[in-house]
């Protein structure tokens, strides 16, 4: 039996990468879609792909997930169009400044937290009342393997993804006696465009080449299967399993050194050299 046929699935950040793959995955299962992205062109391309391949009914909206009023207005439009919601995938995210903490601006922390954490919070708060009203459905919040370990030159990004993890695990506990599923996703190196550029102009090319190798279609399939099977935590993608093992079983003092040794190969080391760190 197809669990998602005629269900209503919301996907944020649907204009590319994992968001586009989630949209295609659930559309192929017969779901109807409510899709949003900040990038109008990318979102339109996703909608075209969905309609070319499936009969899914699609609602689309262009705004930033960091805009609380826009998110709640989007939820209202979803309810007006479809009358309900069944799955909410809070996927939208951005990379950070790509700088060590002492060189990362306060503005970068605010921007990254606004999208990566508050976007998840707003998406959850906007749609959760309907899921709780009918006591069914799924909230899927996307963290990262950098929500399992802290990574150098990613303090802004890791902070946001650890926040998503803490929020989701607490909400998961609160709702564990209901039929509303909360699912936490920690993608590893997924081949998306999240790290192509930042407002600070950081160069992530070495990082992308070394780590971002897993197809977003693969993780979309794994997440869909997790919802079908009641799996609440998904750790999947390049380097994800060893990162999970390290975060659970390696003392933090040694884990920090392991992560530094691995990630430093992809970093701009000039800020570290200026600080006397080799």
Catalytic residues: 157
| Residue 243 to residue 249: CA distance in whole angstroms | 10
H or E element that contains 118: helix 118-134
CB atoms within 10 A of CB 162: 18
Instruction: Provide CB contacts within 8 A for 26, sequence distance 6+.
Output: 4, 7, 9, 11, 33, 87, 224
| Residue 246 to residue 204: CA distance in whole angstroms | 24
Both tokens of residue 208?
A: 């992308």
3-class secondary-structure state, position 100: coil
Distances (CA, A) of 234 to 6, 47, 144, 188, 221: 25, 26, 10, 10, 11
């Amino acid at each position: 039996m197809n669990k998602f046929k005629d269900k209503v699935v919301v996907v944020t950040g649907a204009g590319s990468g994992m968001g586009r793959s989630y949209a295609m995955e659930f559309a192929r299962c017969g779901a109807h879609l409510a899709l949003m992205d900040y990038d109008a062109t990318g979102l339109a391309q996703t909608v075209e792909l969905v309609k070319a391949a499936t009969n899914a009914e699609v609602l689309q909206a262009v705004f930033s997930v960091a805009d609380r009023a826009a998110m709640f207005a989007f939820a209202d439009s979803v309810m007006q169009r479809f009358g309900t919601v069944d799955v909410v995938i809070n996927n939208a995210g951005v990379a950070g400044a790509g700088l060590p903490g002492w060189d990362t601006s306060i503005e970068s922390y605010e921007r990254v937290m606004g999208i990566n954490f508050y976007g998840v919070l707003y998406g959850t708060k906007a749609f959760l009342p309907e899921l709780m009203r009918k006591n069914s459905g799924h909230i899927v919040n996307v963290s990262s393997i950098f929500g399992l370990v802290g990574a150098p030159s990613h303090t802004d990004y890791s902070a946001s993804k650890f926040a998503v993890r803490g929020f989701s695990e607490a909400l998961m506990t609160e709702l564990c006696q209901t039929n509303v599923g909360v699912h936490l996703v920690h993608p590893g190196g997924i081949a998306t465009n999240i790290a192509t550029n930042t407002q600070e102009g950081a160069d992530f090319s070495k990082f992308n080449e070394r780590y971002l190798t897993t197809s977003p279609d693969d993780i979309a399939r794994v997440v869909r299967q997790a919802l079908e099977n009641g799996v609440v935590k998904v750790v999947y993608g390049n380097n994800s399993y060893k990162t999970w093992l390290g975060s659970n079983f390696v003392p933090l003092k040694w884990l920090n050194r392991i992560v530094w040794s691995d990630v430093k190969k992809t970093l701009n080391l000039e800020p570290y050299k200026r600080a006397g760190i080799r």
